[in-house]
């Protein structure tokens, strides 16, 4: 069985070392990045199971990094872990698409618990079929892509998640059951 992967984007070595140790003890494969731009490059080929981001990175704002990552992978679970603890920062992080926001100082065990919770949510709401087709509408969950008459639509993360939820709820009403005869 392959271990779930966590990408940790943190420029403070001591914090990164502590989290790597705790996450590895929990069974996660962890990759650490001190800067954000290399994460974007790597995310064009791979996607982790969970992303932990600092806001104050040396090369790009963690908020901007989150926006760009979610444009590539709308369903990627993101947890901010940052010293920026003002309400405006927490709200901004959540509004741009992060699933959770933890302010420093933090409990490493709590961060691990939050990562597990994010993964549980992702698994719980995963579609049993990765591609849903209803008429000329197609939702490809692994690619986080929606097409209408074979034309890909550009959606925000929340629009994609809403469409995904609607297809799960509405599908039994829209797709007639197979009958004999």
Rounded Cα–Cα distance for residues 68 and 53 (Å):
13
Mark out the alpha helices in the chain (DSSP H runs): 13-25, 37-43, 62-72, 87-95, 108-124, 157-174
Q: What is the pLDDT of residue 164?
A: 79
Cβ burial of 30 (10 Å; 0-12, 13-18, 19+) is: buried
Q: Tell me whether strands 100-103 and 78-82 are parallel, antiparallel or unpaired.
A: parallel
- Amino acid 127: pLDDT: 46
pLDDT of residue 180: 46
User: Tokens 């609607």 map to which residue?
Assistant: 166
Q: How far is residue 172's CA from residue 135's CA, in Å, rounded to a whole number?
A: 13
Q: Which residue has the tokens 């469409």?
A: 163
The pTM of this model reads 0.69
* pLDDT of res. 61: 96
What are the structure tokens assigned to 104, written together? 């420093």
The C-alpha atoms of residue 4 and residue 135 are separated, in whole angstroms, by 35
- The single residue listed with the structure tokens 């618990």 is 113
In the chain, what are the domain boundaries?
5-124, 131-174
Superfamily of domain 5-124 in CATH is Response regulator (3.40.50.2300)
Element (H, E) at 12: none
pLDDT number for residue 146: 86
pLDDT (tens digit, 0 to 9) for every residue of the chain, 181 residues total? 568 999 999 999 999 999 999 999 999 999 999 999 999 999 999 999 999 999 999 999 999 999 999 999 999 999 999 999 899 999 999 999 999 999 999 999 999 999 999 998 887 665 455 777 777 888 887 777 888 888 888 888 778 888 877 777 665 555 555 444 4
For CA atoms 166, 170, 175, 178, give the dihedral sign.
Answer: positive
Q: What confidence score (pLDDT) does residue 142 get?
A: 72
E strand spans, 44-99: 50-53, 78-82
- How many Cβ atoms are within 10 Å of 171's Cβ, its own excluded? 15
């Amino acid at each position: 069985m392959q271990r779930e992967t966590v990408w940790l984007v943190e420029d403070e070595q001591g914090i990164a070392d502590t989290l790597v140790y705790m996450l590895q003890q929990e069974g996660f494969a962890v990759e650490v990045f001190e800067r954000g731009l290399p994460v974007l490059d790597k995310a064009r080929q791979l996607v982790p199971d969970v992303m932990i981001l600092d806001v104050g990175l040396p090369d790009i704002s963690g908020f901007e990094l989150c926006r760009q990552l979610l444009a590539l992978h709308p369903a990627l679970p993101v947890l901010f872990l940052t010293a920026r603890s003002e309400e405006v920062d927490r709200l901004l992080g959540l509004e741009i698409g992060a699933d959770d926001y933890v302010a420093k100082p933090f409990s490493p065990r709590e961060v691990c618990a939050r990562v597990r919770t994010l993964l549980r949510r992702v698994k719980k709401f995963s579609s049993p079929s990765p591609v849903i087709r209803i008429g000329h509408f197609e939702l490809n969950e692994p690619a986080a892509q929606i097409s209408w008459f074979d034309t890909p639509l550009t959606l925000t993360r929340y629009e994609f998640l809403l469409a995904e939820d609607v297809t799960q709820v509405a599908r039994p009403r829209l797709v007639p059951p197979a009958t004999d005869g």
